[in-house]
């Protein structure tokens, strides 16, 4: 993370005095220039220490400066300045000073999630937002306060979260998908290495032309109790179905049957789970194409994760044998966030991939409900 010194200034105050207290704090530290008018909300269900709260708040301050409402669910975790968060909000901000450049001041309003009714918390946020700027919402942890979470989702224009945290809260995920809110799923971002490996093979060997002769895709996982409902598998499966310009239609002994929109042929998607001592998750993607005008024999494409930080990619057409190694990332939540804020990460295909992937789960439950995921006229588009 960037080298910057931080100094926190926080005061407890009554909800009705939040705006005036923010002005008082800013004036008392001699900063005459107001911070940016951007709004952000951090809804934190899993911070376990004062250090985590400070790191999350300061990362957002560096990359999304303005006014942040930090709602903390834990009763035991302290604030960044070492004080305890009581029933009343704590208001003020942080001054970040880099080795070069002027000090940067960011406003914060800290509230304890369980100390006030949901409507009271929502009133604090709504009454003190910078006018004219829809907030960015960052969700940390599983949202056990569903009503509060859903209300804040509807208030926000962009939402950062991880679908891993929403496994037990399908209603929250439904709320996320209802509108046109920008969704930044950290689970999706962490899968970028897999997508990059397949993109590289596709560009090198023109896999787009082979989608009409696709026979099967196998996803091999390790240590997942329910791989078909794993967010990681849901997203990568949905993305692959979309890339192959297909739609899942039924479930058979061979796996999920998918219909190609290019050739009207049926191909199969299988998920094979193995018990293993390694970290649970996706370990291999295997794609089998039939003979074509381009290749006389079957074509096998395989991408495997080796260790935590590298991939091995294989292409075998009988006459061509290719192997390459690529490197991925083993990241913490904050590192993934930092990568998104500082470098960007495509989320263009996220919604469509999620809807296609969810069809696998609903099909298993016997109630397949087709979404509105758009299918391109043909070929693979690898944005995202």
Distance of CA 259 to the CA centre of its chain: 28
Q: Specify whether the CB–CB gap between 235 and 186 falls below 8 A.
A: no
- Statement: residue 360 has pLDDT above 50: yes
pLDDT computed for residue 276 by the predictor: 64
- Mean pLDDT, to the nearest integer, of 93-98? 88
- Mean pLDDT, to the nearest integer, of 285-300? 95
Identify the three-state secondary structure at position 40.
strand
- Mean pLDDT, to the nearest integer, of 335-355? 89
pLDDT computed for residue 384 by the predictor: 53
Question: What is the rounded distance in angstroms from the CA atom of residue 247 to the CA atom of residue 226?
Answer: 22
Contacts of residue 372, defined as CB under 8 A and 6 or more positions apart, other chains included, come to 355
Please give the share of the chain, as a percent, with pLDDT higher than 70: 91
More confident residue, 11 or 363: 11
- Mean pLDDT, to the nearest integer, of 297-313? 91
- Statement: residue 383 has pLDDT above 70: no
Question: What is the rounded distance in angstroms from the CA atom of residue 197 to the CA atom of residue 187?
Answer: 17
Question: What is the β-pairing status of strands 321-327 and 310-316?
Answer: antiparallel
Q: Among candidates 296, 297, 314, which has minimal Cα distance to 305? A: 314
pLDDT computed for residue 278 by the predictor: 64
- Statement: residue 363 has pLDDT above 90: no
Residue 40 token pair: 């952000």
Q: Specify whether the CB–CB gap between 240 and 191 falls below 8 A.
A: no
Count the Cβ atoms, other than its own, within 10 Å of residue 98. 13
Please give the share of the chain, as a percent, with pLDDT higher than 90: 65
Q: Give per-residue pLDDT as tens, 98-136.
A: 767 778 889 999 999 888 899 999 999 999 999 989 999
- Statement: residue 11 has pLDDT above 70: yes
Q: Specify whether the CB–CB gap between 347 and 183 falls below 8 A.
A: yes
Q: Specify whether the CB–CB gap between 188 and 173 falls below 8 A.
A: no
**Where do the domains of the chain lie?**
4-180, 189-364
Q: Give per-residue pLDDT as tens, 226-239.
A: 666 789 999 999 99
Q: Give per-residue pLDDT as tens, 223-281.
A: 775 666 789 999 999 999 999 999 999 998 899 999 999 899 999 999 998 876 567 78
Q: Specify whether the CB–CB gap between 356 and 371 falls below 8 A.
A: yes
Contacts of residue 166, defined as CB under 8 A and 6 or more positions apart, other chains included, come to 142, 143, 172, 173, 231
pLDDT computed for residue 208 by the predictor: 84
- Mean pLDDT, to the nearest integer, of 341-348? 84
Question: What is the rounded distance in angstroms from the CA atom of residue 103 to the CA atom of residue 36?
Answer: 13
Helix (H) or strand (E) segment spanning residue 171: helix 170-178
Half-sphere exposure of 95 (CA within 13 A, CB side): 16
Question: What is the β-pairing status of strands 281-289 and 299-306?
Answer: antiparallel
Distance of CA 381 to the CA centre of its chain: 20
Indicate if the alpha-carbon torsion angle 344, 345, 349, 351 is positive or negative: negative
Q: Give per-residue pLDDT as tens, 144-174.
A: 999 999 999 999 999 999 999 998 898 999 9
pLDDT computed for residue 99 by the predictor: 66
Count the Cβ atoms, other than its own, within 10 Å of residue 109. 25
Contacts of residue 267, defined as CB under 8 A and 6 or more positions apart, other chains included, come to 214, 215, 216, 217, 244, 246, 257, 258, 260
Q: Which CATH number fits domain 189-364: 3.30.360, 3.30.450, 3.30.70, 3.20.20?
A: 3.30.360
Question: What is the rounded distance in angstroms from the CA atom of residue 64 to the CA atom of residue 57?
Answer: 10
- Statement: residue 368 has pLDDT above 50: no
Q: Specify whether the CB–CB gap between 248 and 312 falls below 8 A.
A: no
Residue 349 token pair: 């295909």
Backbone φ and ψ for 251, nearest 5 degrees, come out as -125, 130
C-alpha angle 175-381-287 in degrees, rounded to nearest 5: 95
Using the structure block, give the residue that is written with the tokens 């006459």.
319
Residue 273 token pair: 């789970």
Q: Give per-residue pLDDT as tens, 187-211.
A: 999 999 999 999 999 999 999 889 8
């Amino acid at each position: 993370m960037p080298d910057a010194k931080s100094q926190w200034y926080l005061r407890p105050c009554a909800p009705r005095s939040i705006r005036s207290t923010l002005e008082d704090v800013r004036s008392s530290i001699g900063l005459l220039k107001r911070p940016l008018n951007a709004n952000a909300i951090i809804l934190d269900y899993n911070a376990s220490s004062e250090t985590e709260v400070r790191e999350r708040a300061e990362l957002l301050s560096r990359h999304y400066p303005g006014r942040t409402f930090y709602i903390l669910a834990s009763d035991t975790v302290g604030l960044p300045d070492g004080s305890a968060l009581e029933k009343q909000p704590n208001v003020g901000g942080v001054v970040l000073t880099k080795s070069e450049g002027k000090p940067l001041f960011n406003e914060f309003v800290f509230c304890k999630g369980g100390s006030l009714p949901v409507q009271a918390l929502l009133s604090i946020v709504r009454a003190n937002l910078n006018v004219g700027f829809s907030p960015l919402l960052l969700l940390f942890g599983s949202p056990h306060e569903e009503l509060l979470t859903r209300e804040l989702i509807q208030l926000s224009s962009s939402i950062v979260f991880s679908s891993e945290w929403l496994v037990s809260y399908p209603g929250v995920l439904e709320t996320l998908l209802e509108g046109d809110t920008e969704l930044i799923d950290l689970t999706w971002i962490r899968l970028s290495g897999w997508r990059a490996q397949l993109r590289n093979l596709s560009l090198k060997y023109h896999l787009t032309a082979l989608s009409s002769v696709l026979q099967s895709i196998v996803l091999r996982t390790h240590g997942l109790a329910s791989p078909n409902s794993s967010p990681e598998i849901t997203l990568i499966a949905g993305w692959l179905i979309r890339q192959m310009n297909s739609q899942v239609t039924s479930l058979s002994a061979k796996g999920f049957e998918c219909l190609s929109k290019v050739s009207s042929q049926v191909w199969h998607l299988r998920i094979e789970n193995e018990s293993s001592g390694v970290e649970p998750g996706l370990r291999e993607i295997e794609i089998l194409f039939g003979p074509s005008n381009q290749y006389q024999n079957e074509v096998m494409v395989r991408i495997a994760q080796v260790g935590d930080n590298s991939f091995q990619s294989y292409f075998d057409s009988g006459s061509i044998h290719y192997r390459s190694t690529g490197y991925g990332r083993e990241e913490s939540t904050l590192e993934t966030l930092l990568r998104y804020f500082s470098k960007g990460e495509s989320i263009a295909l996220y919604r469509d991939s999620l809807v296609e992937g969810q069809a696998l789960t609903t099909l298993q439950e016997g109630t397949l409900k087709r979404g509105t995921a758009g299918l391109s006229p043909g070929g693979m588009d690898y944005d995202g």
